[in-house]
Amino acid sequence: MIANTPKPPYYAVIFSSVNTENLAEYSETADRMVELALEQEGFLGIESARNELGITVSYWKDLDSIRKWKKHAEHAIAQERGRKEWYELYKTRIAKVERDYGYEKT
Amino acid sequence: MIANTPKPPYYAVIFSSVNTENLAEYSETADRMVELALEQEGFLGIESARNELGITVSYWKDLDSIRKWKKHAEHAIAQERGRKEWYELYKTRIAKVERDYGYEKT
What number is the average pLDDT over the span B19-47?
A: 97
| Percent helix, strand and coil across chain B, each to the nearest 5 | 35, 40, 25
Q: How is chain A split into domains, by residue range?
A: 10-97
Whether the ω angle into residue B8 lies within 30 degrees of 0, i.e. cis, is no
B95 at the A interface (CB within 8 A)? yes
B chain contacts of residue A87, beta-carbon cutoff 8 Å: 103, 105
B chain contacts of residue A101, beta-carbon cutoff 8 Å: 91-92
Q: What is the pLDDT of residue B57?
A: 98
Would the CB atoms of A55 and B55 count as touching at under 8 Å?
yes
A7 at the B interface (CB within 8 A)? no
Distance CA B18, CA B86 (A): 9
Return the CATH number of the domain spanning residue range A10-97. 3.30.70.100
pLDDT at B3 over 90: yes
Give the mean pLDDT per block of 10 residues along chain A (106 residues): 97 98 96 97 98 98 98 98 97 98 95
Instruction: Report pTM.
Output: 0.97
Q: Is A94 helix (H, G, I), strand (E, B) or coil?
A: strand
Q: What is the pLDDT of residue A6?
A: 98
Q: Does this complex have an ipTM over 0.90?
A: yes
Q: For residue A34, count other CB atoms closer than 10 A to its CB.
A: 14
